[in-house]
A = this chain, B = another copy of it.
Amino acid sequence: MSVQILDHQLEDYFNTAVELAKKAGQKIKEAFYKEKNVNTKQSAADLVTETDQAVEKMVQEIISQKYPTHKFIGEETVAVDGSSCTLTDDPTWIVDPIDGTTNFVHSIPEVSFSCGITVNKEVVIGVVYVPILDQMYTAKKGQGSFFNGQKLSVSSVTELKQAALIMEGGSSRDPDILKAKLDNLRNVLTASHGIRAYGSAAINLCKIASGICEGYVEYGIHCWDIAAGLLILQEAGGVVKDTTGEEVDIMRRRITGACSVNIVNQLVPLLTHLDMGRD
């Protein structure tokens, strides 16, 4: 049986998510210009800092106090207890305390706090905040998406050969995964105006939502990287799909987002599809 949420409840969740983003942003900003203690997770390029962990702890505590029946999926919580995360119909806060940890470590400003809220397994609220640049992206299901209060809309480009794309190297150093990613990169580069890489999936989706670049493909992301950004892109008029062009599944660790379904349809045949497992 699906969960019923009233409008005023959703509004309350949204306001809480924005407040959390500002609080998290303050902590990230304080740590950004200081020396960082860096540890690694799955590979030598999969980084985590004390700030990732401190921000997630703070956010989780606030959510569990305010909404004790809600579920929580956070990048660092999953990393610590090794559990895979299960998405249920219950209201679920999917949080990446710092999306773009490598950027954070290198003082590259594209570092974001990402918070998506699902109800009945569907993202209904998305908040991405880039504290160093004071950029707040927000969306509520069916109500558009906004950048610092201004309504967002995607690029009107429909042909891949006139598109700029975003693709990332990612943190895996597995040679087979890298080979497929580089083949994809060559194919997309050859067919388009060019490729950019900013190092944060959440920000990448927000850039497409803002009409900056037309499409984005990534294998290896997690639900916390994309939950918020995918709603922000959809509500700006964009399209989010699985990399095969099928319906997106936020637990499937792969995504393509674009300004239109035409761009997705032209991207899909250029890709070698990697099975990255599930969150």
Residues of A within 8 A of B (CB): 44-45, 47, 102-103, 105-109, 155, 161, 164, 169-171, 173, 178-179, 182, 185-186, 189-190, 192-199, 207, 211-214
B213 touches A106 (CB 8 A): yes
CB<8 Å pairs between A and B, sample of 17: A105-B193, A106-B155, A106-B164, A106-B193, A106-B212, A106-B213, A106-B214, A107-B155, A107-B212, A108-B196, A108-B207, A169-B194, A173-B189, A173-B190, A182-B182, A195-B197, A197-B197
Bound together, the chains give a CA A185 to CA B178 distance in angstroms of 10
Partner of A108, one of B107, B164, B197: B164
Q: Closest Cβ of chain B: how far from A149's Cβ, in Å?
A: 18
How often does this chain occur in the complex, in copies?
2
CA distance A186 to B196 in the complex (A): 16
Contact A194 B45 (CB under 8 A): yes
Tell me the smallest distance from the CB of A202 to a CB of chain B, in Å: 16
Q: Smallest CB–CB gap between A183 and chain B, Å? A: 9
Q: A197-B196, A199-B196, A213-B106 are in contact. Are A178 and B182 (CB under 8 A)?
A: no
Complex CA gap A258/B182 in Å reads 24
Q: Which partner residue on chain B sits nearest A197 by CB separation? A: B197
